[in-house]
Amino acid sequence: MTARPVSGPAAIPSWTVGEITAQRIDEVALPPATGAWLLPGATPYAVAEQDWLCPDFADDQGALRIDSHSFAVTVGGRRILVDTGIGNGKKRADPAWRDLDTDYLQRLTAAGFSPDSVDLVILTHLHTDHVGWNTRLVEGSWVPTFPVARYLTARTEREFWAGYPMDEARAQVFRDSVIPVEEAGLLDLVDVPGGGVEIVPGLRLVPTPGHTPGHLAVELTSRGRTALITGDCIHHPIQLSRPAIGACVDIDPERSEATRREVLGSLAGTDTLLLGTHFAPPTAGRVVTHQGAYRLVPVPADPR
Ligand SMILES: [Zn+2]
pLDDT confidence bin for 28, thresholds 50/70/90: very high
CB of 239 within 8 A of CB of 50? no
Sign of CA dihedral 16, 281, 295, 207: negative
Calpha distance 88→101 (Å, rounded): 5
Phi-psi map region of 221: left, alpha, beta (phi>0 left; psi -120 to 50 alpha): beta
**Which helix (DSSP H) or strand (DSSP E) does residue 111 occupy?**
none
Where helices occur in 39-83 by DSSP H, the ranges are: 44-48
User: What b/e string do you get for 224-254 counting C-beta neighbours within 10 Å, with b at 16 or more?
Assistant: ebbbbbbbbbbbbbbbbbbbebbbeebbbee
Cα 20–Cα 158–Cα 162 angle in degrees, nearest 5? 165
Query: Which CATH number is correct for 4-298, 3.40.190.10, 3.20.20.140, 2.60.120.260, 3.60.15.10?
Result: 3.60.15.10
- Give distance in angstroms: CA of 24 to centre of ligand 1: 15
- Give distance in angstroms: CA of 128 to centre of ligand 1: 8
- Domain ranges for the chain, please list them: 4-298
Q: How many CB atoms lie within 10 A of CB 299?
A: 16
- Give distance in angstroms: CA of 32 to centre of ligand 1: 15
Mean per-residue pLDDT, 135-145: 97
Q: How far is CA 21 from the centre of its chain?
A: 16
Check pLDDT > 60 for residue 85.
yes
Strand order in the sheet with 14-17: 14-17, 20-30, 66-75, 78-82, 120-122, 150-154, 187-190
Q: What pLDDT, in 10s, does the model give residues 105-134? A: 999 999 999 999 999 999 999 999 999 999
- Give distance in angstroms: CA of 154 to centre of ligand 1: 16
Check residue 96 and report its DSSP letter. Answer: T
pLDDT confidence bin for 303, thresholds 50/70/90: confident
CB of 22 within 8 A of CB of 15? yes
**Which helix (DSSP H) or strand (DSSP E) does residue 263 occupy?**
helix 253-267
- Give distance in angstroms: CA of 228 to centre of ligand 1: 16
Q: Which burial class, exposed, middle or buried, applies to 36 when counting CB atoms under 10 A from its CB (0-12, 13-18, 19+)?
A: middle
In this structure, what are the phi and psi dihedrals at residue 114, rounded to the nearest 5 degrees?
-65, 150
| Pick from 281, 230, 202: nearest CA to 17 | 202
- Give distance in angstroms: CA of 183 to centre of ligand 1: 24
Check pLDDT > 70 for residue 3.
no
Check pLDDT > 50 for residue 261.
yes
